[in-house]
Amino acid sequence: MKIKIEEARKLCEDVLIKYGFPKNEIKTIVDEYIESELQGKLSHGLIAFPSLVDRTIIPKEKWAIEKEAHTAVFIDGKNNFGKIVGREAVEIICKKAKKEGIGLAAINNILPFLRPGTIARMIAEKDMIGIVVNNGGREMTAPEGGIDPVIATNPIGVGIPAKKEPIVFDMAISKRAMGEVRVAKILGHFLPEQTFLNKDGNYTTNPDEVYSVVPMGNYKGYALGLLIEILTGSLVNMPMGIRNKKGDYRASQRGAIFIAIDPSFFTNLDEFKKRNSELINQIKSSRKSSGINEILIPGEKSRRKRTENLQRGYLEVNEKVIENIKKLLV
């Protein structure tokens, strides 16, 4: 079905108002879901919205800075929403990076933000390189060669200033995001092959049989996931590995690391942007494999989808998705 972008936004905002979410935070929270939908990231868009209401505990106190130095800050999120804490953390680390060349925020006890790429973009739009990682919530990814889920899907987002649009992308360390299982269940389709495992360790395309997901890039994705598990786990005093917690993975409190690097501390900013754009042009003009019409830059496809949706002013959303959100208002 077609639904106007602003209509979808108001529907979600009305739900959060009904359930007592902080009024000054509602727009920021809803923007995450709308932005994911605009970019075609359906597993993190409106289909994921009801789980926010079903599982979230409304924050009762403001996040706090536990420790601070010239280039680093340690933040206790105190169960606040990740995007809310993240928005403030970006301001802090970008100020540090402007003065010292780099700023880092280590954060614990936050409720999830949908995609680290949205935070990385905020940093890139301030003419900084942004690197953002957060814990995926609970064990979902099997180690290379294994069956049992041990680490989370642990996404990473990167934002890099360029001459026009910043280069922005995010990805889970698993071959596909675990949210795709929810999409497949709700929309009634099969999962991609050779991606998800059942309890016997065999590949399955049935979302009802999924037990774990394999790492992307085999041992390389597994190694990257292990690094992020530690950075967002033991480093910031948060759980990691096998947690044996039932319920939606989105409910878990998380740890995160934000890094901002100021290019102007090391080189001329305009020249930096120009050279990045030149590199992009070289990549896109390089020879294409047989059957390939265009070489895309990471994040380019979702950016085009976003532009298309904004220009036409509406979203194409499965009717079941909108019905599930409307049920929350009954």
* Domains of the chain, CATH where assigned: 2-58+301-329 (1.10.1530.10), 64-175+214-265 (3.30.1370.60)
SS3 assignment for the chain: CEEEHHHHHHHHHHHHHHCCCCCCCHHHHHHHHHHHHHCCCHHHCHHHHHHHHHHCCCCCCCCEEEEECCCEEEEEEEEEEHHHHHHHHHHHHHHHHHHHCEEEEEEEEEECCCCHHHHHHHHHCCCCEEEEEECCCCCCECCCCCCCCCECCCCEEEEECCCCCCEEEEECCECCCCHHHHHHHHHCCCCCCCCEECCCCCEECCHHHCCEECECCCHHHHHHHHHHHHHCCHHHCCCCCCCCCCCCHHHCCEEEEEEEECHHHCCCHHHHHHHHHHHHHHHHCCCCCCCCCCCCCCCHHHHHHHHHHHHHCEEECCHHHHHHHHHHHC
Q: What pLDDT does 87 receive? A: 95
Is this prediction's pTM over 0.85?
yes
Tens place of pLDDT per residue across the chain (330 aa)? 999 999 999 999 999 999 988 899 999 999 999 999 999 999 999 999 998 886 666 777 899 999 999 999 999 999 999 999 999 999 999 999 999 999 999 999 998 888 999 999 999 999 999 999 999 888 999 999 999 999 999 999 999 999 989 999 999 999 999 989 999 999 999 999 999 999 999 999 999 999 999 999 999 999 999 999 999 999 999 999 998 766 555 556 899 999 999 999 999 999 999 999 999 999 999 999 999 999 999 999 999 999 999 999 999 999 999 999 999 998
Q: What pLDDT does 58 receive? A: 76
